[in-house]
Structure formats: structure tokens, C-alpha cells
Structure 1
Amino acid sequence: MEIRRRHVAAGVLTWVAVFAVFILLAGPTEFVDAATNLSQARLAGILVMNALGTISMGLTLYTVSRGAGLNVSPIESVFLNTTVNLANNFTPFGQASGLPAGGVIMSRWTGQSFEKSVAALSTKELVGFTPGILIMLFGGSYIALFDATIPERIRSPVTVFTVSIAAFVLVLALIYRNPDPAHRVIHWVVTKLNHGIGYVPRLSKVEEDEIQRRVDGFSDSIEEISTNKPVVIVAATLTTFATVTQGVLLWIALGGVNVDISLALVVFIVPVSLLASAIPTPGGSGGIEAAQIGLIFAMTGGQRATIITAVVITRGIIYWTPIAVGSLTLAGIQFKKWWLA
């Protein structure tokens, strides 16, 4: 899968439509008034946190790529990671459809196989769940049991959510200890998708032996990375830092529009809201923002307009950073391809 003009158009138009709706909900005048309350120091802090998060996730990709045997430098990884995020923002279902496009980009840049590139990206995404799960698990437990600042009506849903996360962690642990069933499931899914491709015009099915080879290559690359404990530890640490930076930049923005909320609570809300990226819009546009707005409003009772303003500004910066940087990177990849042709 490649990023085409229709993907770019759909991503941009969806983002504009979604954010226009949020601005209308806040009230255009109220939105502008709240946005102008952000001081230059706070805006600078937001941009610095966003840059640190971008670099941290790029270094995460570098860590897992080196573990997979891909020859990329730290700087290359930072820029390549923005192209992957660009693919996530311009294709529906977020990472589910963005990963194949990102795999094509990495494969072209590194000259390595598509399966190895996708394995590195998949591992980065899986490791990226680690800090979010830990924050949701331990943060949710603390909020449900000890935090006296949240309304009582919120405590029960937080408790149920935390128990669900604990069950999810248990399932992941079972899969990790028993990888063979997971391998069979992946092969079954790919085979079914390949069978369906035969009914699509201008597309042809892949031979069964080729499917087996690709699935085996993907699984072997995943196992090679996941069993390298130093790689996993470093990658998990970097993604944890990146998750915290997103929480900090949102907290800075909320403080700038006079929404009183603790930093710990915002850091908890960020990974929870990212679960909404699964909605079928480019980059999950609308779902993440709605989740953050709803959770912050439920837990603080603050003014709707100021909360929407803070979320829209921070999410806009996070959304457009990979588009700006990733587009330049894609142009560089195309130039490299032309130069070597």
C-alpha cells in the first residue's frame, strides 16, 4: 500500500471538517479568546515537548530497526518515523493501514525486505503500548483507589477500565509465552485476505508458498527483536518518555486556558484517549480529540470552550508535525530513488 493523492486529500479534508466541528462546539469567538490566552512561553513549551516526543519515537524506531538488522542512523530513523506517522494520518484505521505504507517507505529507504521493515514498525507499535498500558494500569489503580480529586461518578468506570486493561495484559502474556498459536492466526488471516484479493479487479493472489515465506519472515523478525531484552527495554523507555511528553504538552495548554487539572491525571488521560484512534477516519481524527475533551470535562467540570481549545491546539500540532516533516522526508526518498536510478 502506498500513500496516494486521494489519501492526502481525504486526510486533510477529514481533519479540517473534524476540527471545524470542535471549534463550532466551543464557539468561534470563545475559541479565539481562549487561544489568545496562551502565552508565548506556554506555546514554546508545547512545541518543545512535541519536538522531544517526535525525537523520542524516532529513536525508538532506530532501536528496534537496529535489532531487526536494518541499517539506519538515528537521524534517519527520526525522519522515517515521521513518514510512518504521516501514513497513519492519511489512511483510515490509523496504524492498521498506515503500517503497510510505512513498511513500503522503510523498505525503499533501507533496501531491506518489506517484511523486515513491517516487523520493525510493528514491534515499535507493540512496544509503544507498554507505557500506555502501564500508565493506564497503575495510574487507573491509583485514581480508582486513592485520588480524592475526581468525582465519585467517575471512579467506577475507571475501576472497570483498569480491570479490563489487566485482563488484556494477561492475554498478551499468554500470547508471548505461546507464540505458535499467534503465528497460525497470522497465517490464517493473511491467507483469507489473499483469497479475497482474487475477487478485486487488477489484483492477483499470491502463491501459498510465498505467503508462508512472508509470514515466516515477519514472525522471525518479530521474534528476533522481542527476544533482545536490551532493545525492548530501551525502546519501552523511549516510548514512555514520548507518552509523558504528550501529557505534559496537553497539561501546559490546559493551564494556559485556566483549566485546573493535575499533571498525573492528564498523563493518564492521553494513552486512554489514544485507544480512540481505532475509529475508521484518517489518523483517528475526531476520536482522540473527543475522548480527551470528554474525559477532561468529566474529571474537572471545566468550561467546555477552554477544554476544546487546549485539545484542538495540541492535537493539531501533533497531527501536522509528521505531515510537514514526513512530506519532506518522502520527497528526499523520491529524490534518492531518482538519483540512484
Structure 2
Amino acid sequence: MQPRDLLASAVGLAVGLAVLAALAAVAGGRAVLDALGGARPGLVAVVAAAILAWLCLWGLALRAVLAALGTDVGAVDAVLVNAAAAFANHVTPFGQAGGEPATALLVAEVGGTPFERALGAITSFDVLNVVPSLSLAAVGVAAYATVAALGVRLRTVAAGLAVVAVAAPLVAGVAWRRRRALEATLVGVLTRVARAAGRRLPRVRPPDRSSVAARVEGYVAPIEAVAGDRRRLVVALAASTAGWLAQVVGLWLALRAVGAVVPLYVPLFVVPLGTVGAALPTPGGLGGIEPIQVALLTATTTAATAPVTAAVLLFSVGGFILTTSVGAGAVAVLGMRTRAIGLG
């Protein structure tokens, strides 16, 4: 990692930790620490298992996506790549956005596929994971609405989910039908950008339009291949949904571990909606996800703020540390394997 990127990651981590410290202080400070200290070890262990299950399940979803592209990656390798992707998202600047190219490089190395094709696979994987999250959030909000009146915030959330549920398929359908025109537009824009960069960087020779078109096609083709393989698409969606459910159960158990009992359908929408905070340019969205989850949980349940905050920190920050550690190990394993192949 370049020094500038390392500094950006360090600053992002510091910002995230500062937000978490402020969140804990506002929620009661000592009461939050007491709740964490009194967490039931057995349930904490199950929370960790749920987080690891999520990593494995999304690894299987990634494997199905890669299989749709004709890239044969074993289940273990797919899980390792997904764990390494979590590590990349947690240590690169700008969180999720910064980690995707690094993940694509890993996929390219493990699967022996061109970078553009690997990046297209990762894009497909990311888009695919959004579908179950919206569905589960809608189910959770609907279940909540059957037993309690929706407050102003949840009515806004429900309305937003309804709009997205209607608009997203329409936009996706139009984009799919006009994908050739959109692809041509993208090629034109990128070609102009490359030429402008070439004029300002004398030593850099900008690619011509045909080269740009070939690279864009290498990126778009995997997305088309995944969309066209219905069997593997169903497998990927099923594994992705199971991964989301593992996260939901993990947060639910974290709440129980600190003595906060809430209905399971509440984390069903809290977990997906909380990921909006991942847009914060910190490693893994740290400091962006947690306040949203705490706000939703305290607004929709009678649980006290301190134990709710403790549970969210246990699940989210504990999960961050766990997945980063496992991901670092996965990167090491994949790196050693790549070097061994190179030496062989």
C-alpha cells in the first residue's frame, strides 16, 4: 500500500473510532461498558460463528457467480477470496469502493481470468447482494407493521423501500434493454477522458477507442453472463440471502447476549438498512453503520439505549475485528499459494 493510501486508511479508521466513541458516550458511557462486560460468553461465541457463517455463505455466492462466467473456483478458494475481500474493504481507503479493485485482482489471480472480467464478476456479486437485503428489509418492516404502528421514521423507510422495489426493476429492465447503447456511451466517455489525460501526461499514451471498447466489453460481458445463467443466479441469490440471515441472527443474538430481548423481525430490517452507513469513507464503513443500527433499534423497541449500543458494538466492531483477522489470514494463504505456483 502506498504511503498516501496508508495515511488515508489511518485517518478513516481514526474518524470511525471517534464516531464510535462518541456513540458510546452519548448512549451512557459506563453503562455501555458494563453491558459489554456482562455479555454472555456462550452467546458471544455463537455471534462469532454467525459472522463466520456469513463469510462462508457469501463465498459460496461468489463461487456461483464465477461459475456462471466459466471460472471454476473451489468452495474453499471462494470463501478465502470473500474473506480476503472483507480484509481489503477494511484496510483500503474509501472502504467498499477502495476494496473492489483489490478483490478483483484476487479473483483474477485465483481464477486465472482477466482483470476486467474479474471486476465485472465482483460488480455482479455486489449488485446481487443488494436484492436479498431489500427483500429482507421489506419483510421485516411489514412484520413490524402488523404488531405496531409505524413511526414517522419507519413510514419514511417503508415508503422508500416501496419506491425502490418498484423503481429498481424498471430501471434495471430499461438499462438491460439499452445496454448496448449505454456501453457505447461509456466507451465514448472513457475514450475522451483517456485522451484528455494523455494531453496532460506527455509520457502516457492514451488507448484508442477500440482498446477502450475491448476493456469495457471485458467488464460488461461477465455481467451479461451472470444474468443469463438462471440456475447459478438462483444459487447465488440463495447463498446471499442465507448470508444476510446469518448477519440478522448474529445481531439478534448479540442483543440477547447483553440482555436486550427484541423480536427477530426487527434485526431483519435493521441489518440491511444499517449498511447505508457503509457509504461513509472509513474502513468497512466503521462508524457509519453503527449509529444507524442503534437509532433504528431504539426507535422500534423498548430496549434501553446502553445495552442496544453495546450489542451493536459487539456485533459490528467485533465482527469487523474478526473478519479483518480472518481476511488477513486468507490473504496470506492465497499469497503463499500464488508464490508457490510461480516458483513451480
**Which position in structure 2 is the counterpart of 1:316?**
317
How big is the shift at 1:94? 3.3
CA shift at 1:134, angstroms?
Answer: 1.3
Counterpart residue identity of residue 118, structure 1: L
Q: Report the alpha carbon displacement of residue 280 of structure 1 after superposing the two structures with TM.
A: 2.2
**Cα distance in 1 for residues equivalent to 2:134 and 2:183:** 23
Equivalent residue number for residue 172 of structure 1: 172
Match of 1:159 in 2: 158
Task: String of CA shifts for 1:55-94, please: whole Å, max 9, x gaps.
Answer: 1011111111121122321001101111112222223443
What amino acid maps onto 1:162 in structure 2?
L
Deviation, 1:115, is 1.1
CA distance in 1, matches of 2:186, 2:141: 32
* Alpha-carbon contact 1:59-1:74 (below 8 Å) kept: yes
Decide whether aligned partners of structure 1 residues 332 and 183 sit closer, same or farther in structure 2, where only a CA change above 3 A counts.
same
In structure 2, what is the equivalent of residue 95 of structure 1?
A: 96
Structure 1 residues without counterparts, runs of 5 or longer:
none
Cα separation, partners in 2 of 1:28 and 1:155, compared to 1, 3 Å: closer
Structure 2: distance between partners of 1:155 and 1:200: 51
AA matched with 1:261? V
1:88-116 alpha-carbon deviations (Å, 9 max, x no partner): 22234433322111111221233321011
Q: Relative to structure 1, is the Cα distance of residues 331 and 158 closer, same or farther in structure 2, using a 3 angstrom cutoff?
A: closer
CA deviation string 1:210-269 (max 9, x = no partner): 221111111111111110001110000011011111111111111222333210121111
8 Å CA contact retained: 2:13, 2:286? no
Give the aligned partner of residue 45 of structure 1: 46
Amino acid at match of 2:174: L
Shift of the 316–202 alpha-carbon distance from structure 1 to 2, 3 Å rule, reads farther
TM-score normalised by structure 1 residue count: 0.88
Distance in 1, matches of 2:156 and 2:93, equals 29
Aligned-partner residue type, residue 156 of structure 1: R
Q: Distance in 2 between matches of 1:194 and 1:284?
A: 31
Q: Using the TM superposition, give the Cα deviation of residue 129 of structure 1 relative to its aligned residue in structure 2, in angstroms.
A: 0.9
Q: Distance in 2 between matches of 1:100 and 1:308?
A: 33
- Mapped to 2, the partners of 1:273 and 1:79 lie a distance apart of 25
Query: Does the 8 Å contact 2:137/2:268 carry over to 1?
Result: no
State the shift of 1:277 in Å: 1.2
The change in CA–CA distance for 1:201 and 1:297 in structure 2 (over 3 A counts) is farther
Please tell me whether the aligned partners of residues 11 and 283 of structure 1 are also in contact (alpha carbons under 8 angstroms).
no
Q: How many residues are aligned here?
A: 339
Q: CA deviation at 1:202?
A: 8.3
Aligned partners of 1:324 and 1:76: how far apart in 2?
Answer: 17
CA displacement, residues 176-201 of structure 1 (integer Å, 9 cap, x when unaligned): 34433442454355446545655579
Instruction: Name the residue aligned to 2:147.
Output: 148
What amino acid does structure 2 have at the position aligned with 1:132?
Answer: S
CA distances 1:269-309 after superposition (whole Å, capped 9, x unpaired): 11111122122222222111111111111112532221111
TM-score (norm: length of structure 2)? 0.88
Tell me how far apart the structure 1 counterparts of residues 15 and 307 of structure 2 sit (CA, whole Å). 23
